[in-house]
Amino acid sequence: MAEYMVIRGGRPLEGTARLPAAKNSVLPLLAAALLCKGESVLTQVPRLSDVEQSVAILTALGCRCQWRGRGLAVDGAEAGGDGALPEGPVRAMRSSVFYLAPALHRCGRVQMPMPGGCKLGPRPIDIHLDGLVKMGARVQWQGESLTVTAPGGLHGVDYSLRLPSVGATETLLMAAVLAPGQTVLRGAAAEPEIADLAAFLTACGARIRGAGTPLVQVEGVEALTGATHTPIPDRIVAATLAAAVASAGGRVKLLGCPFEPLAPTLEILCRAGCTAEHGGNTVTVSREGPLKGVGRVYTGVYPAFSTDAAPVVAAALLTAAGHSAVEDTVFENRFACAEGFSALGGRAVRCGRALEIEGVARLSGADLRAQDLRGGAALAVAALAAEGESRLFGLAHIRRGYGDLAGILRALGADAACRRE
Ligand code: EPZ
C-alpha cells in the first residue's frame, strides 16, 4: 500500500508557522553527544526519520537515548564497544559519517559501510578521512566497508580543507576537541550549523575559537561532560515555506526565523515579485501579483544562496514570466525534480548543474515522485500552484527532513494530505 501526498493547488497560503530545529544541526549534535561522558539534552528535536536512524546508531554504541517531550536525552557514559556501526541506519543517511570521529574517540575504532543519503552526485568522504589520517588515524577499505583505527589516539593538526565541506568541518571539529594539542582548520565551512555544534561542544567543556568562520582553532581537552542545548532553527524549512508562498501566493509569518540565513533566498524571491519583511526573529513573506523571471542565480557555500534551497526556489519560478536559471555550484545532481516539474507542465530543462526555466502561465496537477529530500519538497511547492490534483509519491525522502510536510502546508491553508493507495 503506497503512501502519497495529495495536493489540490490554486489556494493561497495564509497564517503563521514556527520553524522546527534544524535537521542539519540536530544530526551532528546527536553524534557529538557520543563524545560526552555525561548526559546531553537537545531541547527541540523534530521527529524525522534521520533522527530515528541516529538514535539507532547511538544505542548500538552503548548510549542511552530517551525522548522527553520534544526533547531528546543522550547519555554517553556507557558508550564503547568495537565501534561497528549498524549497516541499516548508516546506509539510510549521509549523516552517519558524523559518527566517525566520536566513535573513534570512544571505541578506538569504527567500522561502517559508505554512508547513504540523497543522490546529489558523487559524495566522497575523502576530506573527512584525510583530516583524520593527518590526526593519527589509519583507514582501511574492504570493498564498500570502511575501518578506521587510531592506535596511538588522535592528536592536533594544522589542516587545510581542499574545499569548505560542511560535514568534513564537523567531523574534524569533533575529532579535534578531544585530541591532545592544538588543531587549526583552514578553509573550514562557515554554515550556521557549525557554529551551533561548536556552541554545544563549548558548553560541554571544549575549547574552540572561530567556528562559523573559515579559520577554526581548537585546544584539545581531556573529556567532555554533556550539556543541555537548543539547536538553531531550520533555515531550509524556512526557505521551503518562503518558496511555497511564492508559488501559491498569500502571506505567511515565520516565527523563530533569523533573517540573515534566509536573506539570499528572500533576495531571489523578492526579485521575482514577492515581499519580505523581518524584525527580531520573525520573517513575513507574501506574494500577490504575478511572478517574473530572475535571470541566472547561483548557489554557493554559506553565506551564499544555499544549495538546499535551490530546488524549492526553482519550483516557485516555474510560473514566473520569462527566463530563470538556477545553477548549483555544490552538487552535480541537484535537479532530479526537473522530471516532476515537466509532468506538471513546467518548462524546466537540466543543463549541466543548472536548471533552465521558461515561466508558464499555468501548471496542471500530475502524479509525481520524490527522488531526494529537497527535490521532493520542491515538487510539493510546485503542486501548490498547479490547477487540479497532484499525487506525490516517495514520501520517505521527504520525511527525512520535514516530518509531516503535508500537515505543515495544510496548517497554512493548503489543500494537502497524506493518503494510502
Ligand atoms: C551538508 O552535506 C548538508 N547535510 C547538506 O544538506 C548540504 O546540502 C551540504 O552540507 C552543503 O551545504 C547535513 O548537514 C546533514 P559537503 P555534506 O560536505 O556535509 C564534496 C539536506 O538536504 N565533498 O559540504 O555532505 C561533496 O561531494 C542535505 O539537508 C568532497 O568532495 O556536504 C559536495 O560536492 C543535502 N569530499 C561538496 O563537497 C568530502 O570529503 C559539498 O559537500 C566531503 C564533501
Q: Which of 29, 96, 98, 165 to mutate to test the pocket of ligand 1 (most atoms within 8 A of CB)?
A: 165
Going by CA atoms, what residue is nearest to atom 8 of ligand 1?
A: 308
Going by CA atoms, what residue is nearest to atom 39 of ligand 1?
A: 125
Q: Are 298 and 329 in contact (CB under 8 A)?
A: yes
Residues with CB under 6 A from ligand 1: 23-24, 27, 94-95, 118, 122-128, 163, 165-168, 189, 236, 307-308, 330-331, 373-374, 401
Q: Are 253 and 282 in contact (CB under 8 A)?
A: yes
Instruction: Write out the chain's pLDDT in tens, 421 residues.
Output: 789 999 999 999 999 999 999 999 999 999 999 999 999 999 999 999 999 999 999 999 999 999 999 999 999 999 999 999 999 999 999 999 999 999 999 999 999 998 988 888 888 999 999 999 999 999 999 988 999 999 999 999 999 999 999 999 999 999 999 999 999 999 999 999 999 999 999 999 999 999 999 999 999 999 999 999 999 999 999 999 999 999 999 999 999 999 999 999 999 999 999 999 999 999 999 999 999 999 999 999 999 999 999 999 999 999 999 999 999 999 999 999 999 999 999 999 999 999 999 999 999 999 999 999 999 999 999 999 999 999 999 999 999 999 899 999 999 999 999 999 8
Catalytic residues: 118
- Residue 283 Cα to ligand 1 midpoint, Å, equals 27
The pTM (predicted TM-score) of the whole model is: 0.97
Q: Which atom of ligand 1 is nearest to the CA of 93?
A: 15
- Residue 212 Cα to ligand 1 midpoint, Å, equals 16
Per-residue pLDDT, 162: 98
Cell numbers 580543507 correspond to: 161
Per-residue pLDDT, 337: 98
Cis peptide before 164 (omega within 30 of 0): no
Q: What is the rounded distance in angstroms from the CA atom of residue 205 to the CA atom of residue 184? A: 18
Residues across the chain:
421
Per-residue pLDDT, 123: 86
Q: Which atom of ligand 1 is nearest to the CA of 125?
A: 40
Instruction: Identify the DSSP state of 21.
Output: B
- Residue 125 Cα to ligand 1 midpoint, Å, equals 9
Per-residue pLDDT, 144: 86
- Residue 286 Cα to ligand 1 midpoint, Å, equals 31
Going by CA atoms, what residue is nearest to atom 30 of ligand 1?
A: 124
Q: Which atom of ligand 1 is nearest to the CA of 166?
A: 24
* Cα radius of gyration (the chain): 21
Cell numbers 532553527 correspond to: 233
Per-residue pLDDT, 285: 98
- Residue 61 Cα to ligand 1 midpoint, Å, equals 25
Q: Which atom of ligand 1 is nearest to the CA of 307?
A: 8
Q: Which atom of ligand 1 is nearest to the CA of 332?
A: 34
Q: Are 93 and 51 in contact (CB under 8 A)?
A: no
Going by CA atoms, what residue is nearest to atom 38 of ligand 1?
A: 165
- Residue 114 Cα to ligand 1 midpoint, Å, equals 14
Retrieve residue 151's grid coordinates: 592506535
Per-residue pLDDT, 218: 98
- Smallest Cα–Cα separation from 148: which of 192, 109, 93, 96? 109
Q: Which of 166, 298, 312, 405 to mutate to test the pocket of ligand 1 (most atoms within 8 A of CB)?
A: 166
- Residue 168 Cα to ligand 1 midpoint, Å, equals 8
